[in-house]
Amino acid sequence: MGMSTDEDLASLAKQAHDGDSEAWAEIYQTMAPSIFRLCRRALPTRPDAEDATGEVFLKARMRLGQYDASRPFPPWLYRIAANHCWDELRRRSPHRELDDSEAELSRLEADAPTPQEAVLINESKRNIRRAIAELDDRTRLAVILRYFADMSYAEIGDVLGISSNFTGVLLLRARRALRKRLTS
């Protein structure tokens, strides 16, 4: 229980593909929190993210035969999640504001160095969430995949159907737009 190395997850994926339901349960237990966080940041509501997480794991279970065990398992699963979220966002009307109850925004947010700064930090986090929510769907998903799922430009490009060079341009524009929104 609690296996999390890439080798462990690859081994579990093979076992799950061979019909071991306990191996799949271990994969789910290990990866579901991360997949949920990715979906929660990409989709407008918590129920949407909960549904998406379940659907991602169903898709992944059905596609285990396509997984290449010589490569790390988490990026493969993140790619399925990112593609699912991207499909959901394209299917929907224009994006809605993200819920302020979202967990820490990782690299885009500063850690609170002192308790006295907590109020200012929380306000900054809300401002960052709002600024990210105001980005168009494709740009918002690119930011989420880069800074929360730690995907490469090439992987993000594959998910979004754009070149890795354009991914870089998209992220550069996103950083500029976020900086402008946060400083105005």
In a domain, 12, yes or no: yes
Number of domains in the chain: 1
Contact, 36 vs 53, CB < 8 A?
yes
Measured over the CA atoms of residue 163, residue 164, residue 169 and residue 172, the dihedral's sign is: positive
The pLDDT value recorded for residue 2 is 46
pLDDT at 75 over 80: yes
pLDDT tens digit string along 99-147? 433 444 444 444 445 665 666 666 677 777 788 888 888 898 898 888 8
pLDDT at 57 over 70: yes
Return all residues near 167 (Cβ < 8 A) that are at least 6 apart: 142, 153, 154, 156, 157, 160
Contact, 159 vs 145, CB < 8 A?
yes
Q: When comparing pLDDT for 183 and 50, which is higher?
A: 50
In a domain, 119, yes or no: yes
CATH code, 165: 1.10.1740.10
**Can you tell me the mean pLDDT for 45-65?**
93
Which pairs from 19-26 meet CB under 8 Å and 24+ separation? Answer: 24/61, 26/1
User: Which amino acid would we find at residue 12?
Assistant: L
pLDDT at 155 over 90: no
In a domain, 1, yes or no: no
pLDDT confidence band for 59 (50 / 70 / 90): very high
Please identify which residue in the block is written with the tokens 């870089």: 168
Please identify which residue in the block is written with the tokens 């593909």: 17
**Can you tell me the mean pLDDT for 63-85?**
89
| Cα radius of gyration rounded to whole Å, the chain | 17
Helix, strand, coil distribution of the chain in percent, nearest 5: 75, 0, 25
Structural domain including 53 reads 6-183
- CB-neighbour burial class of residue 113 (10 A; exposed 0-12, middle 13-18, buried 19+): exposed
In a domain, 35, yes or no: yes
The pLDDT value recorded for residue 95 is 43
pTM of the model: 0.65
**Can you tell me the mean pLDDT for 68-88?**
88
The pLDDT value recorded for residue 137 is 85
DSSP state of 99: P
Choose the weakest-confidence range: 35-39, 73-77, 105-109. 105-109
In a domain, 171, yes or no: yes
**Can you tell me the mean pLDDT for 63-91?**
88
